[in-house]
Amino acid sequence: MGLSKIDICNHALLKIGADTIASLDTASNTTDATIQSAKLCNILFDQALEQTLRTYQWNSAMKREELIRVSETPAFKWKYKYQLPNDYIRVVNVYETTDAYDDGTSWVVEGNFILTDYEKLFLSYVSKPNDLSQLNSFLTECIIQNLAIKLCVPMQLDEGMKNNLISEYNQVILPQARSIDTLENKFYDSEESNFIISRYNNSPII
């Protein structure tokens, strides 16, 4: 079983030598130090979580969904507009069919929508999980480290500690987590080249 939100917060607080908390509810904490810890974790946690999730296509946060096309059409260039899921963090790829064949068709993210010429849209994306305990341990460690970095300044800690945490995150923790996550996949999604696609069309694609 993975770590809960409060577990992640306490691991981050321990990283910087701050007082751990019994609850994220400030009223449940009894000292000025723990109340401050709870307040800052409440403010900074979601930002640390979402930023970490956006850095990579983490296996334990991946989801697939057929998107709903909205009635409003883009003002120019694109034919269709699709609503992104509420738990969307980052698009990995979009497809026109459930075969998930990437034919290189263009698309863009604008606001909470994807614009494309696909008549149907199937989305592979990184999601914001409801249950943090389902995230793998290496991703959880990345979130802990990112939160610890964010806590340094408002906790008025030494600038050297923050720099050391950033260095450890960028040079050790994040690369290791990405590497292990990648090794768990045998399939690597990539666009077909125009040369390959042309073989399945009546005329070359230029």
Q: Which residue has the tokens 């409003």?
A: 72
- Residue 206: pLDDT band (50, 70, 90) is very low
- Tens digits of residue pLDDT in 31-42: 889 999 999 999
Contact 42, 36 (CB under 8 A): no
The mean pLDDT value of the chain amounts to: 89
Domain-embedded: residue 28? yes
Nearest to 123 by CA among 181, 185, 65, 75: 65
Q: To the nearest whole percent, how much of the chain has pLDDT over 70?
A: 90
Which of 99, 129, 159 lies at the terminal end of a domain, its last residue? 129
Contact 20, 10 (CB under 8 A): yes
The reply to whether 53 and 147 lie within a common domain is yes
What is this structure's pTM?
0.86
For the chain, the straight-line distance linking the first and the last C-alpha, in angstroms and rounded, comes to 52
Question: Coil, strand or helix: which one is 122?
Answer: strand
The reply to whether 105 and 71 lie within a common domain is yes
Structural domain for 100, as ranges: 61-129
Domain-embedded: residue 75? yes
Q: To the nearest whole percent, how much of the chain has pLDDT over 90?
A: 75
Pull the structure tokens for residue 79: 């034919």
Contact 164, 35 (CB under 8 A): no
Confidence check: pLDDT of 188 > 60: no
132-136, 158-162, 191-195: segment of lowest average pLDDT: 191-195
The reply to whether 99 and 139 lie within a common domain is no
- Residue 99: pLDDT band (50, 70, 90) is confident
- Number of domains the chain is built from: 2
